[in-house]
Amino acid sequence: MRITGGLLRQWQDRNRQSTIPHAIEQLRAAGNVDNLCRLLVDDPPAYRGRYPFLDTDLYKTLEGLAYEIGAGSAGEGAREFFDEVVGLLEQVQAEDGYLNSFFQDPAATKKPWEDLTWGHELYNLGHLIQAAIAANRRMGDRRLLDVAVKFADLAVRRFGQGREEGICGHPEVEMALVELYRETGDRDYLTQASLFVDRRGHGHLQHSIFSPEYFQDHLPFRELPSVIGHAVRMAYLAAGATDVYLETGDRSLFETLDRLWDDMVATKLYLTGGLGSRHSDEAIGDRYELPSERAYSETCAAIAVMQWAWRMFVATGGAKYLDVFERVLFNAYAVGLSAEGSAFFYDNPLQRRPDHEQRSGAETGGESLRRAWFRCPCCPPNIVRWMAQLGDYVAAERHDALFLALYAEGRIETDALAVTVETAYPWDGDVQLTVDRAPSRPYAIKLRVPAWAHDVTLDGAPAAAEDGWLTVERNWNEGESIRLHLPMPVRAHLSHPHLDATRGAVGIARGPLVYCVEQQDSPAPVDDLVLSAERIAAADISSSMDGLPGALALRLAADVAPAPAPELYPELTAGRPAIERTATVPVTLIPYFLWGNRGSEAMRVWVRTQ
């Protein structure tokens, strides 16, 4: 699938033109490249950076670059950076295959493999493998794959069946090892991935700072009652376990995954698709523990949830997984990057109080909203690689059927079929598919109908989806078209009654997009706005947005609640305009992913109903 237009293409162009050059600049400035160079001299300078896993930020960036270079769309300097870093990795890799710029330093405070809990060496390996496979597939360049295979073989020799029963404190390598098995056919990698999944929860990690729950290491994976602990670790582990299931057919493993998924979606995901409600340990909270202003919802967790969702779709064909994928993509993931493409959110709250001063990423000083980089910069290069490969998640083919998982303008080609997709989605629900090449046999095109879509039509006639899919199967002719219409009225969401944080409030959405109100777009304090069902239903959809071109805003009228009594809450009422409860003010709601691009003022996703 090649995306040729629309919002996703705009995002990919921004990634190519702004985010990738910015990431390369920041990686050089932060010392990630120097950390490799220093290993080539006899008396190396000190390692730069706080964490021993900073090589992964190079690997994630290389993965994104492989997609751009392979497509012939890489910007200036991208190929040079790719070749430079790959050349360094080839030079500094140890004879036995080990590769980590922190632990390879003779002056390092710890030796290789000495601290599996926090060293993240296998996590590094995972991202190296993913970058290497992308380069091999997209560029036809196997230099990095040779490096990755050598390191992976070392890991198998050390941690394989009957050997040291170690696991990584940060899951990720499981996904990569399964993909390496698919790429090379070497079943040892699949076996190793399965071992890593099943060893967790058996006391193989030395726990410090955080409890075993943080690492999903308090119970065997198959016995977990719910998703728990560090959100990124949890979703990466589940995605890797799904990959193992896809290759082994282990039904008990799938039953665990299906149960964990349903519980997460029902009780632990934010309206935006964000995962993780606790700043203290970047963790998933209890069921229905979803505070708006304290939502952590790390950008990396959003990517991890999408990786898990896609694998569950591949395993089952289920549209419900893609509904979550899409919700995360357009909200919890997209919000992590600024409109110009060079500043990032680490955590993604659903509310910002007027007096909020905490900095993003739990760091002191600096900008109060998005940052150019972080001391632990896992999110920016993760955005880079995911944005570059979005086309991989638009469609899939199985048994003479093309599944349209997402809607994006572009061209989809399989060995049997080629179609052109025309759409302005997610701003508009019209999708037209034109067949450019067709087989001489019946072939099915399956169109996903999101759970929010009602009164759907196909070629102008009412159409009923089955399990989230509209299926059109026939002998296709070249030039033949079909047109899907997904109505996109503005809709209101109420939260589960167990969710105390948003009781008495309403969330607004249209299509896959969640909306929010920023103080810039309300004459009354956003905390005093009150919305009714009638007000929401009467919202006007507008394409005119100051400072946010191309996006559709919602314009509506909101009532204003009386300010708290000054004598009781002087700090909250000082300087506020005196607006009566009976007042009605015009308010503009913008897509959540665009908030924070016009200054650091108050924001709410959930707006009061009383």
Q: Strand, coil or helix: what is 354?
A: coil
- pLDDT tens across 215-240, in order? 999 999 999 999 999 999 999 999 99
Query: How many Å apart are CA 121 and CA 172, to the nearest integer?
Result: 11
CA 502 to the chain's CA centroid: 24
- Average pLDDT of 585-589? 95
Task: Compare 361 and 231 and report the one with higher pLDDT.
Answer: 231
> How many CB atoms are located within 10 Å of the residue 40 CB?
10
Vertex 490 angle, CA 486 and 496, to 5°: 105
Tokens 């190793």 locate to 192
The pLDDT value recorded for residue 358 is 65
- pLDDT tens across 316-347, in order? 999 999 999 999 999 999 999 999 999 999 99
- Residue of 321, 262, 273 lying closest to 298 (CA atoms): 273
Q: Where does the pLDDT of residue 75 fall: very low under 50, low under 70, confident under 90, or very high at 90 and above?
A: confident
pTM attached to this predicted model? 0.95
Residue pair 450/394 in contact (Cβ under 8 Å)? The answer is no
HEC assignment per residue over 528-587? HEECCHHHHHCCEEECCCCCCCCCCEEEEEEEECCCCCCCCCHHHHCCCCCCCCCCEEEE
The pLDDT value recorded for residue 208 is 82
Q: Where does the pLDDT of residue 587 fall: very low under 50, low under 70, confident under 90, or very high at 90 and above?
A: very high
Any alpha helices (H) in 477-547, and if so which ranges? 533-537
Average pLDDT in the chain: 93
- Average pLDDT of 245-264? 97
- Supply the Cα-derived Rg of the chain in whole angstroms: 25
Of the chain, the end-to-end C-alpha distance in Å amounts to 47
The pLDDT value recorded for residue 468 is 97
- pLDDT tens across 14-73, in order? 999 999 999 999 999 999 999 999 999 988 899 999 999 999 999 999 999 999 999 998
Q: Where does the pLDDT of residue 363 fall: very low under 50, low under 70, confident under 90, or very high at 90 and above?
A: low
- Look at residue 364 and tell me whether its pLDDT is greater than 70: no
Task: Compare 207 and 419 and report the one with higher pLDDT.
Answer: 419
CA 583 to the chain's CA centroid: 40
